[in-house]
């Protein structure tokens, strides 16, 4: 049972480059989301999805795109990387009902130079 799988674990980008962070879950969870974690701050929600074909913006969506073509996958795209996007990114998933806990991937440490 793999849970939530994120790739890559580490990435260095040059300013202006684009890339996609991959996230996949095998628990048939409806809800998926992307967070970024910066030092001294709590996690901040970037985008989330409540089901295939449905996405919405979180607290800090600028500079990021998402899509949800399948229940399993929820990729995060950085359109034109900026140093301010240097962070650790986490993908999470949860089932529909309120008593289900959230499961997180291992994170992607992204550095933009």
Partner 1 sequence: KQEVTQIPAALSVPEGENLVLNCSFTDSAIYNLQWFRQDPGKGLTSLLLIQSSQREQTSGRLNASLDKSSGRSTLYIAASQPGDSATYLCALSRDSNYQLIWGAGTKLIIKP
Q: Which residues of this protein are in contact with partner 1, per CB under 8 A?
A: 4, 31-33, 35, 40-45, 48, 50, 58, 90, 92, 94, 98-107
Closer to partner 1 by Cβ: residue 33 or 85: 33
Q: Is the separation of the CB atoms in 23 and 6 below 8 Å? A: yes
CB of 101 to partner 1, least distance (A): 4
Helix (H, G, I), strand (E, B) or coil at 51: strand
Closer to partner 1 by Cβ: residue 56 or 80: 56
Q: Is the separation of the CB atoms in 70 and 77 below 8 Å? A: no
Closer to partner 1 by Cβ: residue 17 or 95: 95
Q: What's the CA gap between 100 and 94, in Å, rounded?
A: 6
């Amino acid at each position: 049972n793999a849970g939530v799988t994120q790739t890559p674990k580490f990435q260095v980008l040059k300013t202006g480059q684009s890339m996609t962070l991959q996230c996949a879950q095998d628990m048939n969870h409806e809800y998926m989301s992307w967070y970024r974690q910066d030092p001294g701050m709590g996690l901040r929600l970037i985008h989330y999805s409540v089901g295939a074909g449905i996405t919405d913006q979180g607290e800090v969506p600028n500079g990021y795109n998402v899509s949800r073509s399948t229940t399993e996958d929820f990729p995060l795209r950085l359109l034109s990387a900026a140093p301010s996007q240097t962070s650790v990114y986490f993908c999470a998933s949860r089932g529909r009902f309120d008593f289900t806990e959230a499961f997180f991937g291992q994170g992607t440490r992204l550095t933009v130079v």
